[in-house]
């Protein structure tokens, strides 16, 4: 009698586990049982007991049965919660308060279980110290012998993406010296840039932005250039792999150039210069992900409103190629062009960094 009771309990337990397991039936007749975790309209992720997490192409799915509540995201922005079965080309969602809701399969954008939905909701409204992704790149070169030089390049970027906004930070610097005795100049590069930008979506395509950018360049005698800007942007392309934004607005620039002493016998002194002016902000930004590489490109033009014909232009291009989860290789190229640099200085400043990238997320 005791053995019979044990067998009965085991049988009921097994049947309960089986009856409560989610099930996917594929078009080739195969079946997978486990726990449906999430799906978009391309793939479906199910956690099985023996095979772990299995990703299935959505186009290969014939039907699903989910006994646990799933959060079903529809293309009208509504989310319906309940146990799910499919019949023909539609979803039947058994909700707890509205009965069974029927939705065509073509209207279903996402499926998430409770845990995945909580994680998604949190990612859309992160705290100020949450939701950050970015990386730091460090490169160093040293020569000794026939030449004596050293070069240090550091780049940093981070972004926090919310449901309707985005906050981004960046900084990069290059410092290089020629250590050979009597070398002039001994410092061959000393450039630093940094900035912050905040975007807020006004509609699905239109967004507003405010930004602050800073730059110094010892060899151009630029002590500090501070630029505050704001305006509107338009998401031309906004897909999972590619984004293209157009931006337009205005900015105010404050920049100070150092006094340059005379170099006898032929080079006269150049007085320090302070410029304050308003300008337009016109630009575009592109980002594209392919395989294990992310490509970014930005181009801006800032026409001077107080001195027609004068302008500043910037161009930035970069790639990050993943080597592992945390490590990658990054290259970054930047060009800043000004039409009216101090006397004796060049109009173009080019900055290029490359090195090991350490990524992070929080």
Structural domains in the chain? 2-124 (no CATH), 132-361 (2.40.128.130)
Confidence at residue 14, expressed as pLDDT on a 0 to 100 scale: 43
Count of positions (residues) in the chain: 362
Confidence at residue 126, expressed as pLDDT on a 0 to 100 scale: 66
Confidence at residue 265, expressed as pLDDT on a 0 to 100 scale: 63
Q: What is the pLDDT along the chain (362 residues), one digit of tens a residue?
A: 445 454 444 444 444 444 447 999 998 989 999 999 999 878 999 998 888 899 999 888 888 999 889 999 998 888 999 999 987 788 899 998 888 888 888 888 899 999 999 888 877 766 666 778 888 988 888 888 877 888 898 989 899 887 788 999 999 899 999 888 877 778 888 899 999 999 999 998 999 999 999 999 887 788 899 999 999 999 999 888 899 999 999 999 999 988 766 566 666 666 778 889 999 999 999 999 988 899 999 999 999 998 888 899 999 999 999 888 888 998 888 898 988 887 777 888 888 888 888 888 76
Confidence at residue 269, expressed as pLDDT on a 0 to 100 scale: 65
Give CA–CA dist 198/159, Å, rounded.
10
Q: Which two tokens stand for residue 180?
A: 């050979």
Give CA–CA dist 234/242, Å, rounded.
14
Judged on CB neighbours under 10 Å (0-12, 13-18, 19+), 89 is exposed
- The phi-psi region of residue 2 (left if phi > 0; otherwise alpha if psi is between -120 and 50; otherwise beta) is alpha
Q: How many CB atoms lie within 10 A of CB 292?
A: 11
Predicted TM-score (pTM) of this structure: 0.66
Position of tokens 């002039």?
184
Give CA–CA dist 82/74, Å, rounded.
13
Confidence at residue 279, expressed as pLDDT on a 0 to 100 scale: 94
> HEC profile for the chain?
CHHHHHHHHHHHHHHHHHHHCEEEEECCCCEEEEEEEEECCCEEEEEECCCEEEEEEHHHEEEEEEEEEEEEEECCCCEEEEEEEEECCEEEEECCCCCEEEEEHHHEEEEECHHHHHHHHHHHCCCCCCCEEEEEEEEEEEECCCCCEEEEEEEEEEEEECCCEEEEEEEEEEEEEECCCCCCCCEEEEEEEEEEEEEEECCCCEEEEEEEEEEEEHHHCEEEEEEEEEEEEEEEEECCCEEEEEEEEEEEEEEEECCECCECCCECCECCEEEEEEEEEEEEEEEEEECCEEEEEEEEEEEECCCCCCEEEEEEEEEEEECCCCEEEEEEEEEEEECCCCCCCCCEEEEEEEEEEEEEEC
* Spatial CA neighbour of 221 closest among 134, 338, 317, 315: 338
Q: Which two tokens stand for residue 226?
A: 């501070």
Confidence at residue 278, expressed as pLDDT on a 0 to 100 scale: 93
Confidence at residue 266, expressed as pLDDT on a 0 to 100 scale: 62
Q: How many CB atoms lie within 10 A of CB 263?
A: 11
Cα-based torsion angle of the residue sequence 167, 325, 288, 319 in order, rounded to the nearest 10 degrees = 90
């Amino acid at each position: 009698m005791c053995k019979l009771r044990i067998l009965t309990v085991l049988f009921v337990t097994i049947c309960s586990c089986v009856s409560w397991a989610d099930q996917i039936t594929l078009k080739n007749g195969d079946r997978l049982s486990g726990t449906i975790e999430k799906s978009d309209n391309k793939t479906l992720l199910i956690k099985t007991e023996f095979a772990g997490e299995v990703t299935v192409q959505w186009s290969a799915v014939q039907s699903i049965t989910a006994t646990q509540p799933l959060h079903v995201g529809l293309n009208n922005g509504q989310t319906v919660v309940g146990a799910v079965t499919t019949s023909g080309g539609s979803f039947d969602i058994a909700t707890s308060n509205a009965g069974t809701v029927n939705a065509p399969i073509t209207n279903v954008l996402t499926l998430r279980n409770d845990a995945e939905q909580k994680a998604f909701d949190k990612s859309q409204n992160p705290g100020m110290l949450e939701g950050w992704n970015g990386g730091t790149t460090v490169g160093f070169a040293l020569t000794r012998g026939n030449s004596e030089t050293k070069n240090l390049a550091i780049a940093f970027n981070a972004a926090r993406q919310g449901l309707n906004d985005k906050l981004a930070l960046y900084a990069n610097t290059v410092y290089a010296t020629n250590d050979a005795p009597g070398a002039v100049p001994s410092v061959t590069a000393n450039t630093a840039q940094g900035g912050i930008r905040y975007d807020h979506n006004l509609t699905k395509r239109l967004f507003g932005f405010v930004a602050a950018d800073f730059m110094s360049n010892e060899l151009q005698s630029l002590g500090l250039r501070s630029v505050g800007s704001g305006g509107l942007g338009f998401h031309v392309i906004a897909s999972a792999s590619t984004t293209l934004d157009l931006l337009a607005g205005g900015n105010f620039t404050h920049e100070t150039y150092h006094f340059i002493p005379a170099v006898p016998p032929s080079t006269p002194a150049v007085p320090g210069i302070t410029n304050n002016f308003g300008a337009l902000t016109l630009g575009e930004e592109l980002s594209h992900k392919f395989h294990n590489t992310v490509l970014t490109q930005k181009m801006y033009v800032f026409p001077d409103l107080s001195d027609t014909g004068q302008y500043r232009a910037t161009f930035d291009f970069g790639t990050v190629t993943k080597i592992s989860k945390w490590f990658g290789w990054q290259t970054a190229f930047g060009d800043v062009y000004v039409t009216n640099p101090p006397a004796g200085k060049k109009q173009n400043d080019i900055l290029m960094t490359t090195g090991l990238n350490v990524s992070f997320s929080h």
